[in-house]
Structure 1
Amino acid sequence: MARAAAAMAVPALAHGGASAARQPGAGLERGQLRVAGFADAEMDFQLIRQLGTARYGGASVGECLALARRIGNADPAAWVREFSAAAERQERDARARAERGHGISAAEQYLVACNSYRAAEYYSAINDPAHRRLGLRSRACFAAAMQARGIAFEVVNLPWGHAPLPAYWFGAAQGRRARRRKTLMFISGYDGTLEETWLAYGRAALERGYNLLLLAGPGQMDTLRFYPAMAFVPEYEQVGKLALEHVLAHPGVDAGRVALMGISYGGYFATRMAAHEPRIRALIANSPIIDLHAYMVSFVGFDPATAPDEQDIRLADIDHIPPSAMPAQTREMLRNLMLRIGEPSFKATYRRLRDYRVEDALLARIRCPALALVGEGEGQEPLAQHRHFLDAVAGPSASHVFTLEEGAEGHCQTANLGYSAAVSMDWLDEVFAD
Structure 2
Amino acid sequence: MNQPHTSLPRRRGFMAAAASSLALPVLAQNGPAPGAEPKPAQGLERSRTRVAGFADAEMDYQLLRQLGTARYGGASVGECLALAQRIQNGDPASWIAQFAAAGARQQADAQARAQRGHAHSARDQYLVACNSFRAAEYYSGVLDPQHARLGLHSRDCFAAAMRAQGSAFEAFTLPWGDTPLPAYYFRNPQAGTRPGKTLLIISGYDGTLEETWLAYGRAALERGYHLMLLTGPGQMDTLRFHPRLAFVPEYERIGKLALDHVLARPGTDARRVALMGISYGGYFASRIAAHEPRLRALIANSPIVDLHAYMVSFAGFDPAEMPDAQDIHLADIDHIPPSELPAQTREMMRNLMLRLGQDSFKQAYQRLRQFRVDDAGLARIRCPALALVGSGEGAEPLTQYRHFIKTVGGPVTGHVFSAEEGADGHCQVANLAYSAAVSMDWLDETFAT
8 Å CA contact 2:148, 2:239 repeated in 1: yes
Aligned to 2:63: 47
- Percent identity over the alignment is 72
Aligned to 2:283: 268
8 Å CA contact 2:74, 2:214 repeated in 1: yes
Aligned to 2:387: 372
Runs (4+) of structure 1 moved beyond 3 Å?
13-18, 20-25, 172-175
- Amino acid of the structure 2 residue aligned with 1:207: E
8 Å CA contact 2:391, 2:416 repeated in 1: yes
Please give the alpha-carbon distance, in whole angstroms, between the structure 1 residues aligned to 2:171 and 2:41. 51
Query: What is the deviation of 1:420?
Result: 0.3
8 Å CA contact 1:113, 1:141 repeated in 2: yes
Aligned to 1:107: 123
Aligned to 2:374: 359
Say how many residue pairs are matched. Answer: 429
1:430 aligned onto 2:445: yes
8 Å CA contact 1:372, 1:399 repeated in 2: yes
TM-score by length of 2: 0.93
Secondary structure of 2:290's aligned partner: helix
Query: For residues 243 and 259 of structure 1, do their structure 2 counterparts lie closer, same or farther at Cα, with a shift above 3 Å needed?
Result: same
Aligned to 2:155: 139
Q: Which of the numbers 64, 73, 82 marks the counterpart of 2:89?
A: 73
Please give the alpha-carbon distance, in whole angstroms, between the structure 2 residues aligned to 1:345 and 1:162. 26
Please give the alpha-carbon distance, in whole angstroms, between the structure 2 residues aligned to 1:129 and 1:21. 29
8 Å CA contact 1:206, 1:212 repeated in 2: yes
Aligned to 2:167: 151
Secondary structure of 2:150's aligned partner: helix
1:343 aligned onto 2:358: yes
- Amino acid of the structure 2 residue aligned with 1:400: H
Query: For residues 255 and 5 of structure 1, do their structure 2 counterparts lie closer, same or farther at Cα, with a shift above 3 Å needed?
Result: farther
Please give the alpha-carbon distance, in whole angstroms, between the structure 2 residues aligned to 1:343 and 1:139. 28
Query: What is the deviation of 1:6?
Result: 2.3
1:218 aligned onto 2:237: no
Q: Which of the numbers 113, 117, 120 marks the counterpart of 2:133?
A: 117
Aligned to 1:38: 54
Aligned to 2:145: 129
Please give the alpha-carbon distance, in whole angstroms, between the structure 1 residues aligned to 2:218 and 2:442. 17
Query: What is the deviation of 1:17?
Result: 3.4
Structure 2 residue runs of 5 or longer lacking an equivalent are: 1-18
Query: For residues 229 and 174 of structure 1, do their structure 2 counterparts lie closer, same or farther at Cα, with a shift above 3 Å needed?
Result: farther
Aligned to 2:269: 254
Aligned to 1:83: 99
Q: Which of the numbers 291, 298, 302 marks the counterpart of 1:283?
A: 298
Q: Which of the numbers 213, 232, 235 marks the counterpart of 2:250?
A: 235
8 Å CA contact 1:15, 1:74 repeated in 2: no
Please give the alpha-carbon distance, in whole angstroms, between the structure 2 residues aligned to 1:347 and 1:14. 33
Aligned to 1:399: 414
Q: Which of the numbers 190, 194, 199 marks the counterpart of 1:184?
A: 199
8 Å CA contact 2:405, 2:412 repeated in 1: yes
Aligned to 2:309: 294
Please give the alpha-carbon distance, in whole angstroms, between the structure 2 residues aligned to 1:385 and 1:320. 37
8 Å CA contact 1:7, 1:300 repeated in 2: no
Query: For residues 4 and 261 of structure 1, do their structure 2 counterparts lie closer, same or farther at Cα, with a shift above 3 Å needed?
Result: farther
1:63 aligned onto 2:79: yes
Query: What is the deviation of 1:178?
Result: 1.8
8 Å CA contact 1:197, 1:214 repeated in 2: yes
TM-score by length of 1: 0.96
Aligned to 2:16: none
Please give the alpha-carbon distance, in whole angstroms, between the structure 1 residues aligned to 2:72 and 2:403. 33
Query: What is the deviation of 1:4?
Result: 9.8
8 Å CA contact 1:110, 1:142 repeated in 2: yes
Please give the alpha-carbon distance, in whole angstroms, between the structure 1 residues aligned to 2:71 and 2:61. 17
Query: For residues 30 and 9 of structure 1, do their structure 2 counterparts lie closer, same or farther at Cα, with a shift above 3 Å needed?
Result: closer
Query: For residues 9 and 412 of structure 1, do their structure 2 counterparts lie closer, same or farther at Cα, with a shift above 3 Å needed?
Result: closer
Query: For residues 71 and 172 of structure 1, do their structure 2 counterparts lie closer, same or farther at Cα, with a shift above 3 Å needed?
Result: closer
Secondary structure of 1:257's aligned partner: strand
Query: What is the deviation of 1:23?
Result: 4.2
Most deviating of 163-172 and 61-70: 163-172
Q: CA RMSD in A?
A: 2.1
Aligned to 1:97: 113
Structure 1 residue runs of 5 or longer lacking an equivalent are: none
Secondary structure of 1:316's aligned partner: coil
Please give the alpha-carbon distance, in whole angstroms, between the structure 2 residues aligned to 1:95 and 1:38. 32
8 Å CA contact 2:188, 2:224 repeated in 1: no
Q: Which of the numbers 176, 182, 187 marks the counterpart of 1:166?
A: 182
Query: For residues 16 and 418 of structure 1, do their structure 2 counterparts lie closer, same or farther at Cα, with a shift above 3 Å needed?
Result: closer
Please give the alpha-carbon distance, in whole angstroms, between the structure 1 residues aligned to 2:345 and 2:190. 48
Query: What is the deviation of 1:18?
Result: 3.5
